[in-house]
Amino acid sequence: MTIRSTTTRPGTSEPATTVRTATGSRGAVRTPVRRAALVLATAGAALVLAACGSSDGDGGSGHAGHGGTPSSTSAADTAGTHNAQDVAFAQGMIPHHQQAVEMARLAAGRAASAQVKDLATRIEKAQGPEITTMTGWLRTWGEDVPMAGMDHGDSGMSGNPGMTGMMDDKDMTALEKATGKDFDTKFLTMMVEHHRGAVEMATTEQDKGAYGPAKSLAGSVVSAQNAEIGEMRKLLGQS
C-alpha cells in the first residue's frame, strides 16, 4: 500500500511530497514468529507427554516390584523363624485342645452346676479357634497336622512324652457315663489335670520356641488356664 503525504519545504512555500510504501512488514514478521512459537509449543508438549509416559511406565513397574517383594519376603520370614519346638508345640497342643473341647461339650447335657456349664462353654470357645490357628501354622510350615477325632490315648497322643494331662479311654468313658454332681466332680478333677498338662507344654514353648505367634499363644494358654485351674479348685472345695 502507498501513502502520500504533503509538507512544506522549510524556508519555501513549495510543497514537498513524501511517498512511503507500506509493505506489511509487521504482518510478515508476525507470521513467522507465531509459527515458531507454535512449533516450540508442540515440541514441548510432545516432550512432556513422552516424559509422563516414561514416568508412568517406570512407576508401574516399580510398584509391581514393591508389591511382590514384601509378600514373598514376609512369607519366607514367617516360615523361617520357627524351630522344631514350635512344630512339636503345635502338633502336641492341637490334640490336647481337641480332647479338652470334647470334654467341655459333654457338660451341656450332663452337668448339674451352672458354673461348670459356663466354664465348659468358655473352654470350648477359647480352644477351638486356637486349634484352627495352630493348624494353619503347621500347614504353612509343611508339617503334618494331627487328625481330629483320634481315639483317646492312642499312639498319636501318648507318643509325645511332653503331652501331660491327657485322659485315656477309661477316663473318657467314665466321664461320658457320669451325670449330675458326679459328672461335675469328674469333669473338674480331670480338667484340672488336663489344664496343668497344657500349662507345662506352653511353658516349654515359651522357653524353647522361636516363632513369635506360637510363643504368644503359649503365654495366653499359661495365663488363662492357670486362672481356670484356680476357678475349678474352688468349685471342688480345694484351697
pLDDT computed for residue 14 by the predictor: 52
Mean pLDDT score, 158-165: 56
pLDDT of residue 37: 46
Q: Nearest 5°: CA angle at 88, between 85 and 92?
A: 140
Residue 100, pLDDT > 90, answer yes
Question: If you average pLDDT over every residue of the chain, what do you get?
Answer: 76
25-69, pLDDT tens digit by residue? 444 444 444 454 444 444 444 434 344 444 444 443 333 333 333
- Quick one: what percent of the chain has pLDDT higher than 90? 58
- For 150, list phi and psi in degrees, rounded to 5: -65, 150
Determine phi and psi for 7, rounding to 5 degrees.
-130, 170
Q: Is the pLDDT higher at 135 or at 24?
A: 135
Residue 137: what pLDDT? 97
Residues in the chain, total? 239
Using CA atoms, how far apart are residues 138 and 176, in angstroms rounded to an integer? 31
**22, pLDDT greater than 50:** no
pLDDT tens for each residue of 165-220: 999 999 999 999 999 999 999 999 999 999 999 999 999 999 999 999 999 999 99
Tell me if 124 sits within 8 A of 105, measured CB to CB: yes
3-state secondary structure of 20: strand
Write b or e for each residue in 40-60: b if 16 or more Cβ atoms lie within 10 A of its Cβ, otherwise e.
eeeeeeeeeeeeeeeeeeeee
The one-character DSSP state at 24 is -
How far lies 196's CA from each of 4, 45, 199, in Å? 122, 76, 5
pLDDT, tens only, 61-70: 333 333 333 3
Q: How confident is the model at residue 164 (pLDDT cuts 50, 70, 90)?
A: confident
CA atoms within 13 A on the CB side of 8: 4
What's the pLDDT band for 111 if we cut at 50, 70, 90? very high
Q: What pLDDT is recorded for position 61?
A: 37
- Judged against a pLDDT cut of 50, whether residue 76 lies above it is answered with no
Beta bridge partners of 19: 4
pLDDT for the residue 36: 47
Dist. CA 20–CA 10, nearest whole Å: 20
Query: What's the DSSP call for residue 193?
Result: H
**Quick one: which of 215, 75, 203, 210 has its CA closest to 141?**
75
Note whether 154 and 167 are within 8 A (CB): no
Give strand pairing partners of 111.
Answer: 180
pTM of this structure: 0.64
